[in-house]
């Protein structure tokens, strides 16, 4: 639509500067030192939604960080789109690996570098600018509701309660989320699935205090070494997860579905080169796309214990710990996996140490239908602005709210992400290409229009 194009072209620079301002707020939800920044970020999001044309915006307090709720209801008979996103970001460390400050966004080679550039400030903000485009050009065709939360990166603990308590207010025909990736700009894609998650912490304790490793080493179990042995045993020789019952409920794909999934463009040599690895790794019998898309996995996210400072200290540590997460696929239950994991860890812990296992957070996998009106509207919107039909893919990440929306509100989601897998999410030098940012802002209004048209039948 020409009016949209013109409006976006005229306001291009402002759209970018507003995002850069948002990226300057270090809204790190995991770090309580940033509590006031997270809070301030919510207020800025509220302000921006109002400026973009939302007619009711509210900062809804929770037991944790607030949820920003906003809406523009133009005509109750129109279909309603609920946009979900998150204004909190991951911690930026290790800081020394950033080429520029994580909260001092810079544009280099057509890319915005900053924590949250892609995950998810850059992506949810596209929806704010899309709303502004439609509102200012008097071309809205759907009602739109926004729910932008501040605790996604720490497990969205208070979101389920909020959704349950606000069922009426959140009523919508579809949830639209931009918090996932595309294959590339040449190969636009739509994610049709997300994995679930069970996140655990394991603490192994040996002696009641740190000991001199010469005086006691060799005679008292070293919890760091024992923990490593336990972790190493969690995968078998085929790189399958070695926890009894782990695969029991896994939904298997038909061979036709697997073939389709593997038809997505994927260059394994490029992949290895980008990551600086000589070989890929994973469950025997599955391709890389299958390993990240449709198979459950187990990862060690962090491991610590003993002396890690400068130089050498001869010590036999009293404790060692690890953070271990499992990605889950449809039909697995995060609660059940937490239980299997805990029981198994207790069973393999030798008598010379004691162990504590704690579940940190979890969520269920989700698949989104490809025959719905909403999916077809997204497909057509992308085809309109990219000139190519998007390829359906299964993503490896998790957005637990997708399963919750379905369970509590009975609404399915569309995952219309414009990021790239190598945007360095959760890593140093997170980026978002300007092209992707503007392409998202261009595409979203078409989703509204097609969703409205197709909903009329």
Catalytic residues: 88, 152
Binding-residue total with ligand BES (CB under 6 A) = 17
Note whether 151 binds ligand BES by CB under 6 A: no
Note whether 120 binds Mn ion by CB under 5 A: yes
Task: Centre a 10 Å sphere on the Cβ of residue 363 and count the other Cβ atoms it contains.
Answer: 23
CA distance 305 to 319: 6
Burial of 347 (0-12, 13-18, 19+ CB in 10 A): exposed
The rounded radius of gyration (Å) of the Cα atoms in the chain is: 23
Note whether 45 binds ligand BES by CB under 6 A: no
CB burial of 77-103 (b: ≥16 within 10 Å; e: otherwise) equals ebbbbbbbbbbbbbbbeeeeebeeebb
Stretch that binds ligand BES, among 76-84, 258-266, 332-340, 391-399 (CB under 6 A): 391-399
Closest to ligand BES by CB, 349 or 398: 398
Stretch that binds ligand BES, among 149-157, 208-216, 280-288, 300-308 (CB under 6 A): 149-157
Closest to ligand BES by CB, 18 or 152: 152
Among 8, 158, 181, 368, binds ligand BES (CB under 6 A): 181
Is there a contact between 429 and 115 (Cβ–Cβ < 8 Å)?
no
Is there a contact between 298 and 188 (Cβ–Cβ < 8 Å)?
no
Among 197, 227, 355, 441, binds ligand BES (CB under 6 A): 197
Note whether 425 binds ligand BES by CB under 6 A: yes
Q: How far is the CB of 131 from ligand BES (least distance, A)?
A: 21
Among 18, 37, 152, 433, binds ligand BES (CB under 6 A): 152
Closest to ligand BES by CB, 134 or 402: 402
Is there a contact between 344 and 357 (Cβ–Cβ < 8 Å)?
no
According to DSSP, the β-strands at 189-191 and 211-212 are unpaired
Is there a contact between 107 and 12 (Cβ–Cβ < 8 Å)?
no
Sorted by sequence, the CB contacts under 8 Å of residue 348 that are 6+ apart come out as 230, 233
Q: 393: closest CA among 254, 257, 191?
A: 191
Stretch that binds ligand BES, among 173-181, 277-285, 291-299, 447-455 (CB under 6 A): 173-181
Closest to Mn ion by CB, 68 or 202: 68
Q: Where are the beta strands (DSSP E) in 257-311?
A: 297-305
- Which residue has its beta carbon closest to ligand BES? 397
| Dihedral angle, C-alpha 179, 181, 184, 188, nearest 10 ° | -70
| 196-205, strands of its sheet edge to edge | 297-305, 319-328, 196-205, 354-363
Stretch that binds Mn ion, among 47-55, 115-123, 223-231, 323-331 (CB under 5 A): 115-123
Closest to ligand BES by CB, 30 or 35: 30
Contact track, Mn ion, 158-187, x by CB under 5 A: ---------------------x--------
Is there a contact between 244 and 342 (Cβ–Cβ < 8 Å)?
no
Please give the full DSSP string across 84-141, using - where no structure is assigned: EEE--B----SGGG-SS-TTS-EEETTEEESTTTTTTHHHHHHHHHHHHHHHHTT---
Note whether 88 binds Mn ion by CB under 5 A: no
Note whether 363 binds ligand BES by CB under 6 A: yes
Query: Residue 430 binds which entry of ligand BES, Mn ion, none, with Cβ cut-offs from 5 to 8 Å by kind?
Result: none
Q: How far is the CB of 305 from Mn ion (least distance, A)?
A: 27
CA distance 222 to 333: 34
Closest to Mn ion by CB, 151 or 179: 179
Closest to ligand BES by CB, 84 or 450: 84
> What residue ranges bind Mn ion (CB under 5 A)?
119-120, 179
> What residue ranges bind ligand BES (CB under 6 A)?
119-120, 152-153, 155, 179-181, 194, 197, 363, 395, 397-400, 425
């Amino acid at each position: 639509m020409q009016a949209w194009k013109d409006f976006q072209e005229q306001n291009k620079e402002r759209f970018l500067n507003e995002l850069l301002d948002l990226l300057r707020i270090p809204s790190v939800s995991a770090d309580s030192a940033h509590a006031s920044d997270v809070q301030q970020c919510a207020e800025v999001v509220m302000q921006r939604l109002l400026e973009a044309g939302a007619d009711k915006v509210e900062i809804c307090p929770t037991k944790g960080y607030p949820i920003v709720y906003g809406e523009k209801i133009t005509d109750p008979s129109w279909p309603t789109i609920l946009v979900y996103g998150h204004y909190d970001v991951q911690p930026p460390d290790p800081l020394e690996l950033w080429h520029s400050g994580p909260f001092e966004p810079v544009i280099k080679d057509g890319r915005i570098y900053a924590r949250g550039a892609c995950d998810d400030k850059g992506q949810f903000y596209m929806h704010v600018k899309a709303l502004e485009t439609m509102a200012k050009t008097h071309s809205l065709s759907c009602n739109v509701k926004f729910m932008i939360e501040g605790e996604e990166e720490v497990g969205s603990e208070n979101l389920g309660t909020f959704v349950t308590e606000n069922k009426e207010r959140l009523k919508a025909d579809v949830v639209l989320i931009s918090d996932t990736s595309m294959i590339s700009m040449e190969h636009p894609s739509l994610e049709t699935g997300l994995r679930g998650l069970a996140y655990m912490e394991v603490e192994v304790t040996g002696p009641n205090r740190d000991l001199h490793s010469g005086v006691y080493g060799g005679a008292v179990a070293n919890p760091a070494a024992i923990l490593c042995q336990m972790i190493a045993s969690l995968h078998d020789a085929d790189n399958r997860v070695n926890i009894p019952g782990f695969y029991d409920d896994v939904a298997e794909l038909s061979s036709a579905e697997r073939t389709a999934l593997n038809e997505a463009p994927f260059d394994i040599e490029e992949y290895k080169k980008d990551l600086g690895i000589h070989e890929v790794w994973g469950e025997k019998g599955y391709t890389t796309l299958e390993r990240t898309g449709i198979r459950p996995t187990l990862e060690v996210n962090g491991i610590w214990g003993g002396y890690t400072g400068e130089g050498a200290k001869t010590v036999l540590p009293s404790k060692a710990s690890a953070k271990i997460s499992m990605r889950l696929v449809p039909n697995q239950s995060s609660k059940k996996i937490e239980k299997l994991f805990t029981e198994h860890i207790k069973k393999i812990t030798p008598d010379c140490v004691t162990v504590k296992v704690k579940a940190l957070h979890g969520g269920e996998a989700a698949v989104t239908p490809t025959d719905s009106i909403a999916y077809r509207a997204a497909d057509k919107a992308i085809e309109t602005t990219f000139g190519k039909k998007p390829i359906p893919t299964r993503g490896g990440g998790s957005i637990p709210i997708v399963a919750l929306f379905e369970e509590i509100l009975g609404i399915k989601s569309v995952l219309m992400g414009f990021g790239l897998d190598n945007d360095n999410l959760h890593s140093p030098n997170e980026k978002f290409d300007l092209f992707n940012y503007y392409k998202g802002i261009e595409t979203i209004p078409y989703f509204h229009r097609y969703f409205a048209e197709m909903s009329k039948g």
